[in-house]
Amino acid sequence: MRTTVRAAAKINLFLDITGKRGDGYHIVNMVMQSVSLYDEVTVTVGNGDGEITVSCTDENVPCDETNTAYKAVKEFFKYAEMKPVNVWVKIKKRIPSQAGMAGGSTDAAAVLVALNEMLETEFSQDELAEIAENIGADVPFCIYGGTMTANGIGTILTPLPEMPECYIVVVKPDIKISTKEAYAKSDSIGYEQTRSIETMIDAVCNGNINAVGKALYNKFEEVVEVPEIDEIKSCMETYGAEGALMTGSGSAIFGIFEEKSDADDCMDYLERHFENVWLVEPVSECQVIK
């Protein structure tokens, strides 16, 4: 039995780090948005006693037990209290790694959705999100997708109205950033709140793309060094972006455009200077069974 899931990436429209728990997890205040850049995750189940095999088109992604898809299979059978069967996961990678776009997290969510479908466990989205929490802080969001606020360690999720229609240019500079190291660096600047998430929430709720552009904020920009960030952001703004920001702990940078023609012109320019550039749009679902 085989199921293929189209698994969407995310960007952060707002990301503040407001504290650190005793167990080392950081407390965040975020607005997350699914976008139309997809990995394709094919999950096959067959007879056997629980062997897990993961493969990925990107040779830099580890396919051992550290792969998020592998962890998802383990956690699924644990939660379902079922005798594990053999599972093969094939990941067609399009979402850049170490980019702050939740590539690993969305693959894990795709595996949970695929297994739920094939093994007829009929878990609700909330139950899948409960399993997802054991895999990583961004995985529950990748179960629901769309536009949401995320609080606590990123797992307390509240849906927002859909982001207004727009065009999003994403550039992934060559530099790779480890999320763990970026959080460690953020500790050095403290957790004072300098920006209010409410401005972003109001902008989204009012469907005002101009205000969304103005309210973009990411605390990681203060601690993570991406050499090209200023060049990319000012290029996006020159081409008419409502605003530009690094997503997650980087290193991908995005610009939000109201007009497709402006986004197209910006793409033309950036494609001549960077290898990895995409034009995407906000989407309301993260996991879609094909």
Distance (Å, whole) CA 108 – CA 138: 10
Residue 180 known to be catalytic:
no
Specify whether 93 is catalytic: no
- Distance between terminal CA atoms of the chain? 14
- Residue tagged active-site, from 16, 138, 233, 262: 138
**Which of 66, 206 has the CB closer to ligand ATP?**
66
- Selection from 267, 216, 259, 268 nearest residue 240 by Cα: 259
Nearer to ligand ATP, 3 or 179 (CB): 179
| Binding positions for ligand ATP, rule: CB under 6 A | 61-62, 66-69, 91, 97-105, 107, 138, 179, 248-249
Task: Take residue 49 and report the two structure tokens written for it.
Answer: 């006693």
Beta bridge partners of 246: 253
* Gyration radius of the chain over CA positions: 19
Other C-beta atoms lying within 10 Å of the C-beta of residue 17: 23
Residues whose CB is less than 8 angstroms from the CB of residue 125 and which lie 6 or more positions away in sequence, other chains included: 143, 144
CB 59 within 8 A of CB 67: no
Residues 91, 202: Cα–Cα separation, whole Å: 37
d(CA 16, CA 9): 20
- The catalytic position among 10, 71, 172, 219 is 10
Q: For residues 269 and 274, which CB has a smaller minimum distance to ligand ATP in the complex?
A: 274
**61/200 with CB nearer ligand ATP:** 61
Please work out, in degrees rounded to the nearest 5, the angle formed at the alpha carbon of residue 216 by the alpha carbons of 215 and 221: 135
Whether 211 and 202 have beta carbons less than 8 Å apart is answered as: yes
The residue to which tokens 């776009």 are assigned? 101
Cis peptide before 196 (omega within 30 of 0): no
Catalytic residues: 10, 138
